[in-house]
Amino acid sequence: MSEHIVAGVDIGSTTAKAVVLKNGQLLLGKIESTGSNPARAGQEVLESAITDSGYDKSRLEYTVVTGYGRVSASFADKTVTEITCHGRGAHFVSPDIKTVIDIGGQDSKVISVDASGRVVDFVINDKCASGTGRFLESAAQLVLHVPLEDLGKLSAGATSVCKISSMCTVFAQTEIISLLAAGESKENIIAGLHASIAGRVGTMANRLGVKPVVMMTGGVAKNTGVKYALEKELGTSIIVPDDIDPQLIGALGAALIAEDMLKAKTGT
Amino acid sequence: MNNGNNSILLAGLPERIERDSARITLARNARSKVVGYFCPHVPEELIMAADMIPVRLAQGGDIDAVTAGEDYLKADSCPYARSCLGFRKTENPIYTGVDAVCVAYTCDSMRKNQEYWADYLGIPSFPLGITQTHDRLRSKTQSLEYYKNELNLLAGRLGTLSGQPVTNSKLKRAIELTNRIRDKLWRLFEYPADKQTPIEWRDVFRIAQAGFTMDRQEYLDELTLLDDRLGKIDKQSLTPDSRPRLMICGSIIAQGDDKVLDIVGAAGGNIVADSVCTGSMFSRKRVTLFGLAGSPMDALAERYLYNIPCPFMTDLPKRLSRIVKIARDYNIDGIIYYSLKYCDTWRAEFKAVRDIAQKQLSIPTLLIEAEYSPADIGTIKTKVEAFIEMMEGR
């Protein structure tokens, strides 16, 4: 097959991601904020990723769109759920993985994959922000007034872990305000938030059965504090992709499926 | 997908049955009393034997009725149970058309339903106590005798309401008619076991639901007509259906609660079998009358106590072995486990179903918890699509 370009786009609740493959090899990935128009955000991140790759968008031969915004993406050649895409992307990065834990902005999911990266089972949390990136974001920005990306670093300085029992994002904020008023350090509270997410996601993971090797994907995987708390909760070590941003794994999986689809279409 | 020839044959048939049911509901008020029931633990034969018209009040999927029901039941109780009261307030013609209701005590919310219908809606409301506890220390007869006694009490109350006492001979006639309906419906539910089927489960399910409110004899006539037509189709001429074969199992899927079924269909899944109380289970088992001298009440008790797919009333091993049997008979690739949000009875059973499907059948089970509001459509779509992608990837 001659030189060909395909792409995967993952339109999440917070960010839109695009990954471009050239001849099946990773060329470029890009992340932009979703804003209020998910379909347009997807189209924009795709176009800028192609341009950044040094190609014209007319060269793009196949696009698979995933994420919650997939339903309105008219530029998609095919839509696939984020479950299938995260399994596929994680397997590509590290072929020995058996379990993928994806914590995104709006939901979290645990996926079991087989030796060839196919999904064999999964769980998604039910329409509630507990155990998701949104839970951390609201606590960090609205109550603790620290940048989201500093949470991991700060929690490493905790002397003890606060107990945060509210699963509800709104009630947790109230709880944090009380803890601050009682003189608890930000570090201890952040460690408590991480333990709370780990507890929530850990319960989901245990329902499915956690088989090593475990990989974390999604934006929250960049938070070392959550990774550490989840390792403690599950009693197993967790890998986070380092060659590629863990937030791009879904878009990468979509791009790999696009490559398959193009091959099937052209019969090669 | 629908085979071309079958879509022509079946065009409009389920709709015709549904339309008829509305017409009959209005017409019958003039000539006879109508008695509603909710759970299928209530034998409709008793109502027929008291010369009244049975209707199953099993509508759902209507958010207004759910909200109206919150006058009685709390907002985090089962949406079906809330609707059972709410439909009176939203003036659903079937719910306002009943002269009395029979309510089996099958969960906390239904028990209160029975009392609110009597005390607040002012409609005669007959309770049906039911228990099924037997193990080494308790004999099977204990629960059966209790249930039979309850049925006798109910028969007495129904007879008083209509002024036409339930007699053995009238009961036998009602059993015979209902058995004939069961036989016809069961033949329809068996078709989708074959990949080459002239009718899909979804259509059969709609026909079964339409039967809740139809005149029994007219319903039998319609079913007979359909059965004859389907019987004439050469199954070998039909295109085999290659979509993933699914079984749906769990809480009541009420008439009008189409959300999950629609999502599964749009995602390319093919439901071919069920274990829900509004589906094939009504027809799966006849009421067996033993000889001319056999007591019809004994036969009813035996049939209705042990053959309703209800986790509250059935021992777990029995529930599980039935689900496994259906999954094998219909060559199921995956189970969709439907739990109405806040329906503790069914949600509690999920883990056991999921585990047995994994261990004995090596098939996955997807849990869908849903309300009657459209708010959860996005999440349910993602789950169902991922589940079907997973099966297609196998």
> What tens digit of pLDDT does each residue of B121-177 get?
999 999 999 988 767 777 778 889 999 999 999 999 999 999 999 999 999 999 999
Confidence band of B291 (pLDDT split at 50, 70, 90): low
Q: Does A116 touch chain B (CB under 8 A)?
A: no
Structure tokens, A49: 């990723």
- B393 and A82 in contact by Cβ < 8 A? no
* CB-based contacts of B117, cutoff 8 Å, min separation 6: B85, B101, B103, B123, B125
CA angle B136, B140, B141 (to 5 degrees): 130
CA distance A100 to A110: 6
- B390 and A83 in contact by Cβ < 8 A? yes
pLDDT < 70 positions in chain A:
126-130, 268
Structure tokens, A167: 């699963």
- Closest alpha carbon to B206 in B303, B271, B286, B284: B271
Q: Is the pLDDT of residue B7 over 50?
A: no
- DSSP letter (8 states) at residue A143: I
- B390 and A118 in contact by Cβ < 8 A? yes
* CB-based contacts of B142, cutoff 8 Å, min separation 6: B133, B134
Structure tokens, B284: 């799966």
Structure tokens, B69: 């029901």
Q: State the CATH architecture for B31-164.
A: 3-Layer(aba) Sandwich (3.40)
Q: Does A127 touch chain B (CB under 8 A)?
A: yes
Q: What is the pLDDT of residues A219-247, one digit of tens each?
A: 899 999 999 999 999 999 999 999 999 99
Confidence band of B28 (pLDDT split at 50, 70, 90): low
Q: Measured on CA atoms in the order B330, B335, B338, B342, is the torsion positive or negative?
A: positive
In A, residues 38-67, which contact B (CB 8 Å cutoff)?
none
Q: Which residues pair with B357 in a beta bridge?
A: none
- Measure CB to CB from residue A127 to each of B376, B389, B393 and give the nearest one: B376
Q: Measured on CA atoms in the order B288, B290, B296, B302, is the torsion positive or negative?
A: negative
- B390 and A122 in contact by Cβ < 8 A? yes
CA distance A120 to A85: 13
Confidence band of B4 (pLDDT split at 50, 70, 90): very low
- B382 and A84 in contact by Cβ < 8 A? no
CA distance B289 to B300: 9
CA distance A199 to A152: 17
Q: How many Å lie between the alpha carbon of A93 and the closest alpha carbon of chain B?
A: 20
Residues of A with Cβ-Cβ distance to B379 under 8 angstroms: 107, 124, 126-127
Q: Sheet holding A119-124: strands in order across? A: A119-124, A108-113, A99-103, A214-217, A238-239
Q: How many Å lie between the alpha carbon of B336 and the closest alpha carbon of chain A?
A: 13
* CB-based contacts of B320, cutoff 8 Å, min separation 6: B352, B353, B356
Q: What backbone phi and psi angles, to 5 degrees, belong to A22?
A: -115, 120
Q: Supply the pLDDT for residue B140.
A: 76
| Domains of chain A listed by start with CATH number | 1-94+244-268 (3.30.420.40), 96-240 (3.30.420.40)
CA distance A252 to A25: 10
- A83 and B386 in contact by Cβ < 8 A? yes
CA distance A189 to A155: 8
Contact status, residue B308 vs residue B277, Cβ threshold 8 Å: yes
Q: Is the peptide bond between A213 and the residue preceding it cis, with omega within 30 degrees of 0?
A: yes
Residue type, B315: D
Q: Does A126 touch chain B (CB under 8 A)?
A: yes
